[in-house]
Amino acid sequence: MGAPPRPDVPEWCKSVTTDCPVAGTVYGYAPSLSANTFFASFFGLALLLQLYLGIRYKTWTYMIAVSLGCLAECIGYVGRIMMSNNPYDDLGFKIQIVLLIFAPAFLAAGIYLTLRRNRLTHNALVLWDNRRFKFFCGAVVVAYVTILIRCIYRIPELLGGWGGELMRVEVDFIILESAMIVLTVVAQTVFHPGFCFSAMANTIGKKHQHSKLASMSETELEMLGRGESA
């Protein structure tokens, strides 16, 4: 069900009054205090868990990417909490619109950091016998699909412009934005690569060493090839 069209209100509206109704705001509603408090608290807790798991398993780049996403989500919902008290709050609107739009990009970066390690080797194939790794792969799929659903929702929402019909329905926002990103973060936290995909853990310093050895091997082969052709 679509929301009623946005009525014209004076440009000087800074709070809800008789001349400045809630319906005249961009969203056409006062964001739910209870729902947004829950989401802000959830992402705040997820941030702490991601920092703990990242430090414990030394998955530094993954920790930074997902933690930034959780932090942005948390602050974004704080902005919506500000708007629940005053739907005309310009600062709260700017905080939530910017951070909630860009936060999933950091979570998607976390997915990329796992997918870029997809190399077909004998040792990699052995991982398929690991039950935790199978759950991890499923979690990556869930995270990817939920972010995709959220992005699909955002396209027509923003195409409708500020105060568009889709933007003025809070239930749609909670289901297709908030709930989708919650599922993303749950998948990335419960099935953390630190204990489900050990190849991402404890790699600091090893990557440089591996690259150096690989480079030496390639150089030796090149020299050997030149020697044979001489």
Q: Specify if 9 maps to a domain.
A: no
Angle at 74 between CA 89 and CA 17, to 5 degrees: 15
pLDDT at 170: 96
pLDDT at 32: 97
pTM: 0.82
- DSSP element (H, E) containing 160: none
Counted domains in the chain: 1
Q: Specify if 224 maps to a domain.
A: no
Its domain, for residue 62, covers 22-204
pLDDT tens digits for range 125-181: 556 667 888 899 999 999 999 999 999 999 999 898 888 889 999 999 999 999 999
Backbone angles phi, psi at 155, to 5 degrees: -60, -60
pLDDT at 221 over 50: no
Q: Where are the alpha helices (DSSP H) in the chain?
A: 33-57, 60-85, 90-115, 122-126, 131-159, 170-173, 179-190, 193-196, 206-229
Q: Specify if 164 maps to a domain.
A: yes
Q: With bands split at pLDDT 50, 70 and 90, how would you rate the model's confidence at 117?
A: low
pLDDT tens digits for range 39-82: 999 999 999 999 999 999 999 999 999 999 999 999 999 999 99
Q: Specify if 220 maps to a domain.
A: no
pLDDT tens digits for range 20-39: 888 889 999 999 999 999 99
Q: Specify if 159 maps to a domain.
A: yes
Q: Specify if 221 maps to a domain.
A: no
